[in-house]
Protein backbone atom coordinates (compact mmCIF):
# COMPACT_ATOMS: atom_id res chain seq x y z
CA UNK A 1 0.00 0.00 0.00
CA UNK A 2 1.09 3.60 -0.55
CA UNK A 3 2.01 5.61 2.53
CA UNK A 4 4.02 8.64 3.60
CA UNK A 5 6.78 6.98 5.59
CA UNK A 6 9.13 8.72 8.03
CA UNK A 7 12.44 6.97 8.60
CA UNK A 8 15.42 7.56 10.86
CA UNK A 9 18.75 8.53 9.27
CA UNK A 10 22.21 9.23 10.63
CA UNK A 11 21.57 12.98 10.43
CA UNK A 12 17.92 13.10 11.46
CA UNK A 13 14.80 11.87 9.65
CA UNK A 14 13.49 11.66 6.10
CA UNK A 15 9.94 11.39 4.78
CA UNK A 16 8.78 10.04 1.42
CA UNK A 17 5.70 8.66 -0.31
CA UNK A 18 6.48 5.00 -0.93
CA UNK A 19 5.20 1.43 -0.73
CA UNK A 20 4.68 0.04 2.77
CA UNK A 21 3.87 -3.60 3.58
CA UNK A 22 0.30 -3.95 4.80
CA UNK A 23 1.47 -6.89 6.90
CA UNK A 24 3.50 -4.45 9.02
CA UNK A 25 0.46 -2.48 10.21
CA UNK A 26 0.33 -2.37 14.01
CA UNK A 27 -2.10 -4.24 16.22
CA UNK A 28 -5.72 -3.14 16.42
CA UNK A 29 -9.20 -4.58 16.14
CA UNK A 30 -10.41 -2.25 13.37
CA UNK A 31 -8.90 -1.78 9.91
CA UNK A 32 -10.30 1.04 7.80
CA UNK A 33 -9.52 2.63 4.46
CA UNK A 34 -9.00 6.40 4.78
CA UNK A 35 -10.67 8.55 2.17
CA UNK A 36 -9.35 11.80 3.63
CA UNK A 37 -6.72 13.10 6.00
CA UNK A 38 -5.38 16.54 6.79
CA UNK A 39 -2.19 18.49 7.54
CA UNK A 40 -1.85 19.87 11.07
CA UNK A 41 1.04 21.86 12.53
CA UNK A 42 2.17 18.71 14.36
CA UNK A 43 2.22 16.86 11.02
CA UNK A 44 4.54 19.54 9.68
CA UNK A 45 6.89 19.06 12.63
CA UNK A 46 6.83 15.27 12.22
CA UNK A 47 7.39 15.19 8.47
CA UNK A 48 10.20 17.77 8.49
CA UNK A 49 11.86 16.50 11.66
CA UNK A 50 11.89 20.03 13.10
CA UNK A 51 10.85 18.59 16.48
CA UNK A 52 11.06 15.03 17.81
CA UNK A 53 7.35 14.30 17.37
CA UNK A 54 7.89 10.78 16.01
CA UNK A 55 8.99 8.23 18.60
CA UNK A 56 9.15 4.99 16.60
CA UNK A 57 10.55 4.23 13.16
CA UNK A 58 9.57 3.61 10.49
CA UNK A 59 6.46 5.71 11.06
CA UNK A 60 3.56 6.45 8.75
CA UNK A 61 2.74 10.12 9.17
CA UNK A 62 -0.67 11.70 9.63
CA UNK A 63 -2.31 12.27 13.01
CA UNK A 64 -5.83 12.35 11.50
CA UNK A 65 -7.88 10.19 9.16
CA UNK A 66 -11.50 9.68 8.14
CA UNK A 67 -12.70 6.69 6.19
CA UNK A 68 -14.69 3.49 5.98
CA UNK A 69 -14.26 0.35 8.10
CA UNK A 70 -13.12 -2.72 6.13
CA UNK A 71 -12.73 -5.30 8.92
CA UNK A 72 -13.56 -5.21 12.62
CA UNK A 73 -13.62 -7.49 15.64
CA UNK A 74 -14.64 -4.57 17.88
CA UNK A 75 -18.29 -4.70 18.98
CA UNK A 76 -18.93 -1.03 18.17
CA UNK A 77 -17.83 -1.15 14.54
CA UNK A 78 -18.73 -3.14 11.44
CA UNK A 79 -17.62 -3.05 7.79
CA UNK A 80 -19.02 -0.01 6.02
CA UNK A 81 -19.11 2.24 9.10
CA UNK A 82 -17.81 5.78 8.53
CA UNK A 83 -15.29 6.68 11.23
CA UNK A 84 -13.01 9.52 12.33
CA UNK A 85 -9.59 9.09 13.95
CA UNK A 86 -7.64 11.82 15.77
CA UNK A 87 -5.06 11.77 18.55
CA UNK A 88 -4.01 8.77 20.68
CA UNK A 89 -0.40 9.06 19.45
CA UNK A 90 -1.31 8.22 15.85
CA UNK A 91 1.49 9.45 13.59
CA UNK A 92 3.78 9.61 16.63
CA UNK A 93 3.90 6.17 18.28
CA UNK A 94 1.24 4.38 16.21
CA UNK A 95 1.26 4.19 12.40
CA UNK A 96 -0.75 7.11 11.05
CA UNK A 97 -3.29 8.24 8.50
CA UNK A 98 -1.25 9.04 5.40
CA UNK A 99 -1.80 5.53 4.08
CA UNK A 100 -4.24 3.47 2.06
CA UNK A 101 -5.11 1.44 5.17
CA UNK A 102 -5.05 2.14 8.91
CA UNK A 103 -5.37 -0.36 11.76
CA UNK A 104 -6.13 0.89 15.28
CA UNK A 105 -7.99 -0.10 18.45
CA UNK A 106 -11.68 0.52 17.92
CA UNK A 107 -11.82 2.45 21.19
CA UNK A 108 -9.89 5.25 19.46
CA UNK A 109 -12.58 5.90 16.86
CA UNK A 110 -15.66 8.09 16.81
CA UNK A 111 -18.47 7.91 14.25
CA UNK A 112 -18.53 10.43 11.44
CA UNK A 113 -21.09 12.98 12.68
CA UNK A 114 -24.46 12.78 10.97
CA UNK A 115 -24.73 15.21 8.09
CA UNK A 116 -20.96 15.73 7.89
CA UNK A 117 -18.81 14.41 5.04
CA UNK A 118 -15.38 12.85 5.55
CA UNK A 119 -13.93 15.87 3.71
CA UNK A 120 -15.59 18.22 6.19
CA UNK A 121 -14.44 16.12 9.15
CA UNK A 122 -10.85 16.46 7.99
CA UNK A 123 -11.35 20.18 7.34
CA UNK A 124 -11.89 20.12 11.11
CA UNK A 125 -9.41 17.41 12.13
CA UNK A 126 -7.27 17.62 15.25
CA UNK A 127 -7.00 21.40 14.86
CA UNK A 128 -10.75 21.92 14.85
CA UNK A 129 -11.33 19.35 17.58
CA UNK A 130 -8.78 21.18 19.74
CA UNK A 131 -10.53 24.50 19.07
CA UNK A 132 -13.84 23.00 20.13
CA UNK A 133 -12.29 21.57 23.31
CA UNK A 134 -10.94 25.05 24.09
CA UNK A 135 -14.38 26.61 23.69
CA UNK A 136 -15.91 23.90 25.88
CA UNK A 137 -13.21 24.49 28.52
CA UNK A 138 -14.05 28.21 28.64
CA UNK A 139 -17.74 27.41 29.01
CA UNK A 140 -17.10 24.86 31.76
CA UNK A 141 -15.18 27.64 33.54
CA UNK A 142 -18.42 29.60 33.57
CA UNK A 143 -17.64 32.12 30.84
CA UNK A 144 -20.05 33.28 28.17
CA UNK A 145 -20.41 36.14 25.68
CA UNK A 146 -21.88 38.44 28.36
CA UNK A 147 -18.52 38.41 30.20
CA UNK A 148 -16.77 40.44 27.48
CA UNK A 149 -14.84 39.88 24.24
CA UNK A 150 -12.87 36.73 23.40
CA UNK A 151 -9.35 36.74 21.95
CA UNK A 152 -8.03 34.18 19.46
CA UNK A 153 -4.29 34.16 18.74
CA UNK A 154 -2.85 32.64 15.58
CA UNK A 155 -6.33 33.29 14.25
CA UNK A 156 -5.65 32.56 10.58
CA UNK A 157 -4.24 29.11 11.33
CA UNK A 158 -6.13 25.84 11.60
CA UNK A 159 -7.04 25.93 15.30
CA UNK A 160 -7.52 29.68 15.26
CA UNK A 161 -9.86 29.69 12.26
CA UNK A 162 -12.21 27.14 13.82
CA UNK A 163 -12.04 28.88 17.20
CA UNK A 164 -13.03 32.20 15.62
CA UNK A 165 -15.98 30.57 13.86
CA UNK A 166 -17.19 28.67 16.94
CA UNK A 167 -16.89 31.62 19.32
CA UNK A 168 -18.66 33.97 16.90
CA UNK A 169 -21.48 31.44 16.42
CA UNK A 170 -21.86 31.26 20.22
CA UNK A 171 -22.35 35.03 20.37
CA UNK A 172 -18.91 36.23 21.46
CA UNK A 173 -17.35 39.43 20.14
CA UNK A 174 -14.18 37.89 18.73
CA UNK A 175 -10.85 39.71 18.61
CA UNK A 176 -8.56 37.91 16.17
CA UNK A 177 -4.78 38.32 16.53
CA UNK A 178 -2.73 37.53 13.43
CA UNK A 179 0.59 38.37 11.84
CA UNK A 180 -1.00 38.33 8.40
CA UNK A 181 -2.96 41.55 7.85
CA UNK A 182 -3.95 40.37 4.38
CA UNK A 183 -6.25 37.82 6.07
CA UNK A 184 -8.52 40.47 7.61
CA UNK A 185 -11.40 39.82 5.19
CA UNK A 186 -11.07 36.07 5.70
CA UNK A 187 -11.18 36.38 9.50
CA UNK A 188 -14.11 38.78 9.46
CA UNK A 189 -15.88 36.35 7.15
CA UNK A 190 -15.51 33.72 9.88
CA UNK A 191 -17.03 36.08 12.42
CA UNK A 192 -14.18 38.16 13.87
CA UNK A 193 -15.28 41.64 14.93
CA UNK A 194 -11.79 43.11 15.35
CA UNK A 195 -8.31 42.32 14.03
CA UNK A 196 -5.25 42.87 16.25
CA UNK A 197 -1.74 42.82 14.72
CA UNK A 198 0.45 40.09 16.16
CA UNK A 199 3.06 42.71 17.11
CA UNK A 200 0.71 44.14 19.74
CA UNK A 201 0.88 40.87 21.66
CA UNK A 202 4.35 39.69 20.78
CA UNK A 203 6.38 42.45 22.43
CA UNK A 204 7.82 42.82 25.94
CA UNK A 205 5.62 41.33 28.62
CA UNK A 206 4.27 43.40 31.51
CA UNK A 207 3.00 41.77 34.69
CA UNK A 208 -0.38 43.43 34.03
CA UNK A 209 -1.73 45.56 31.20
CA UNK A 210 -5.06 47.17 30.33
CA UNK A 211 -7.76 44.50 30.49
CA UNK A 212 -9.19 43.91 27.00
CA UNK A 213 -10.90 40.49 26.90
CA UNK A 214 -12.70 38.11 29.22
CA UNK A 215 -11.62 34.91 27.51
CA UNK A 216 -9.28 33.62 24.89
CA UNK A 217 -8.03 30.69 22.85
CA UNK A 218 -4.24 30.78 22.51
CA UNK A 219 -2.60 28.68 19.81
CA UNK A 220 0.85 30.28 20.01
CA UNK A 221 2.34 30.19 23.52
CA UNK A 222 5.44 32.15 24.48
CA UNK A 223 5.26 35.93 24.84
CA UNK A 224 1.91 36.11 23.07
CA UNK A 225 0.25 33.92 25.69
CA UNK A 226 1.94 35.89 28.47
CA UNK A 227 0.63 39.18 27.06
CA UNK A 228 -2.83 37.66 26.54
CA UNK A 229 -2.92 36.72 30.23
CA UNK A 230 -1.75 40.19 31.28
CA UNK A 231 -4.63 41.75 29.30
CA UNK A 232 -7.38 39.41 30.54
CA UNK A 233 -10.24 40.84 32.56
CA UNK A 234 -10.79 39.87 36.22
CA UNK A 235 -12.02 36.27 36.60
CA UNK A 236 -11.41 35.62 32.91
CA UNK A 237 -9.58 32.68 31.39
CA UNK A 238 -7.35 31.73 28.50
CA UNK A 239 -7.48 28.22 27.03
CA UNK A 240 -3.97 27.37 25.78
CA UNK A 241 -3.33 24.64 23.24
CA UNK A 242 -0.28 25.54 21.11
CA UNK A 243 3.42 26.33 21.15
CA UNK A 244 4.18 27.77 17.71
CA UNK A 245 5.64 30.83 19.44
CA UNK A 246 7.77 28.88 21.88
CA UNK A 247 7.58 26.54 24.85
CA UNK A 248 8.47 29.17 27.44
CA UNK A 249 5.93 31.34 29.26
CA UNK A 250 7.54 34.61 30.42
CA UNK A 251 4.74 35.72 32.71
CA UNK A 252 4.33 36.47 36.41
CA UNK A 253 1.81 35.53 39.06
CA UNK A 254 0.15 38.96 38.77
CA UNK A 255 -2.73 38.00 36.42
CA UNK A 256 -3.55 35.01 38.61
CA UNK A 257 -3.42 36.56 42.07
CA UNK A 258 -4.52 40.13 41.28
CA UNK A 259 -7.23 39.49 38.69
CA UNK A 260 -8.12 35.86 39.32
CA UNK A 261 -7.29 34.92 35.74
CA UNK A 262 -7.23 31.19 34.92
CA UNK A 263 -4.97 29.41 32.45
CA UNK A 264 -6.75 26.34 31.05
CA UNK A 265 -4.54 23.76 29.36
CA UNK A 266 -6.11 21.79 26.50
CA UNK A 267 -4.66 18.60 25.01
CA UNK A 268 -6.84 16.79 22.47
CA UNK A 269 -4.57 13.74 22.09
CA UNK A 270 -5.81 11.78 25.16
CA UNK A 271 -9.27 13.39 25.35
CA UNK A 272 -11.81 10.76 26.48
CA UNK A 273 -14.41 9.53 24.00
CA UNK A 274 -17.43 11.19 25.70
CA UNK A 275 -15.70 14.57 25.52
CA UNK A 276 -14.69 13.94 21.90
CA UNK A 277 -18.27 13.10 20.98
CA UNK A 278 -19.48 16.29 22.66
CA UNK A 279 -16.91 18.35 20.77
CA UNK A 280 -17.74 16.74 17.40
CA UNK A 281 -21.44 17.29 18.00
CA UNK A 282 -20.72 20.97 18.70
CA UNK A 283 -18.65 21.24 15.53
CA UNK A 284 -21.33 19.57 13.43
CA UNK A 285 -23.97 21.90 14.87
CA UNK A 286 -22.15 25.23 14.88
CA UNK A 287 -19.75 25.26 11.93
CA UNK A 288 -21.45 26.73 8.89
CA UNK A 289 -20.76 24.83 5.62
CA UNK A 290 -19.66 28.17 4.17
CA UNK A 291 -17.02 28.36 6.89
CA UNK A 292 -15.72 24.94 5.82
CA UNK A 293 -15.30 26.18 2.27
CA UNK A 294 -13.66 29.45 3.30
CA UNK A 295 -11.05 27.81 5.52
CA UNK A 296 -10.21 24.73 3.44
CA UNK A 297 -7.71 23.88 0.70
CA UNK A 298 -7.68 20.37 -0.79
CA UNK A 299 -4.48 18.59 -1.84
CA UNK A 300 -3.60 15.05 -2.98
CA UNK A 301 -1.52 12.65 -0.90
CA UNK A 302 1.45 13.53 -3.12
CA UNK A 303 1.25 17.12 -1.88
CA UNK A 304 1.64 16.36 1.82
CA UNK A 305 5.42 16.82 1.99
CA UNK A 306 5.32 20.29 0.44
CA UNK A 307 2.36 21.20 2.64
CA UNK A 308 4.38 20.27 5.73
CA UNK A 309 7.00 22.86 4.79
CA UNK A 310 4.33 25.48 4.08
CA UNK A 311 2.48 25.07 7.37
CA UNK A 312 5.68 25.55 9.39
CA UNK A 313 6.53 28.62 7.32
CA UNK A 314 3.16 30.20 8.18
CA UNK A 315 2.00 30.09 4.57
CA UNK A 316 -1.17 28.09 5.22
CA UNK A 317 -4.52 29.75 5.84
CA UNK A 318 -7.09 27.67 7.65
CA UNK A 319 -7.10 23.94 6.96
CA UNK A 320 -5.66 21.59 4.34
CA UNK A 321 -7.59 18.42 3.50
CA UNK A 322 -5.76 15.49 1.94
CA UNK A 323 -7.77 13.43 -0.55
CA UNK A 324 -6.29 9.97 -0.47
CA UNK A 325 -7.33 9.00 -4.01
Q: How far, in Å, CA of 174 to CA of 148, rounded?
A: 9
In this predicted structure, the answer to whether residue 38 has a pLDDT above a threshold of 90 is: yes
Q: How far, in Å, CA of 33 to CA of 25, rounded?
A: 13
In this predicted structure, the answer to whether residue 31 has a pLDDT above a threshold of 80 is: yes
On the CB side of 256, CA atoms within 13 Å amount to 7
Q: What does the pLDDT read at residue 314?
A: 87
Our separate counts of H helices and E strands in the chain read 10, 16
Q: Indicate the pLDDT class of residue 295, thresholds 50, 70 and 90.
A: confident
Q: Give CATH 3.40.50.720 domain extents, the chain.
A: 126-265
Q: How far, in Å, CA of 301 to CA of 246, rounded?
A: 29
H-type alpha helices, 86-157 = 118-140
On the CB side of 280, CA atoms within 13 Å amount to 28
Tens-place pLDDT, residues 227-251: 999 999 999 999 999 998 889 999 9
User: What's the mean pLDDT in 23-32?
Assistant: 97
User: What's the mean pLDDT in 268-288?
Assistant: 94
SS3 for 161?
A: helix
The CB density around residue 290, as the number of other CB atoms within 10 Å, is 11
Q: Which residues contact 307 (CB under 8 A, 6 or more apart)?
A: 39, 44, 299, 316, 320, 322
Specify the CATH class of 126-265 in words: alpha beta
Tens-place pLDDT, residues 16-26: 999 999 999 99
Q: What percent of the chain has pLDDT over 70?
A: 100
Q: Indicate the pLDDT class of residue 166, thresholds 50, 70 and 90.
A: very high
Q: Which residue has the higher pLDDT, 281 or 291?
A: 281
Q: What does the pLDDT read at residue 237?
A: 98
β partners of residue 94:
90
Q: Give CATH 3.90.180.10 domain extents, the chain.
A: 2-112+291-323
User: What's the mean pLDDT in 269-289?
Assistant: 93
In this predicted structure, the answer to whether residue 6 has a pLDDT above a threshold of 90 is: yes
Which superfamily, per CATH, for 2-112+291-323? Medium-chain alcohol dehydrogenases, catalytic domain (3.90.180.10)
In this predicted structure, the answer to whether residue 115 has a pLDDT above a threshold of 80 is: yes
Q: How far, in Å, CA of 102 to CA of 6, rounded?
A: 16
In this predicted structure, the answer to whether residue 30 has a pLDDT above a threshold of 80 is: yes
3-state helix/strand/coil string of 178-203: ECCHHHHHHHHHHCEEEEEECHHHHC
What pTM was computed for the model? 0.91
Q: Which residues contact 243 (CB under 8 A, 6 or more apart)?
A: 220, 221, 222
- Mean pLDDT, the chain, as a whole number? 95
Amino acid sequence: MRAVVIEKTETGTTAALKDFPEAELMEGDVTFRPTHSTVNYKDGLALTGKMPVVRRFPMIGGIDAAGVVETSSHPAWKPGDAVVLTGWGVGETHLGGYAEKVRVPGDWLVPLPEGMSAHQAMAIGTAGLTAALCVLALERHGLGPDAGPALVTGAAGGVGSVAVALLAKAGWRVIAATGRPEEEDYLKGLGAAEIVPRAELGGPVKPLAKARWAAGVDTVGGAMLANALAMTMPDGAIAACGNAGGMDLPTSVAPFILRGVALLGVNSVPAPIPLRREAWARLARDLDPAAFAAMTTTIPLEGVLDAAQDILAGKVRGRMVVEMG
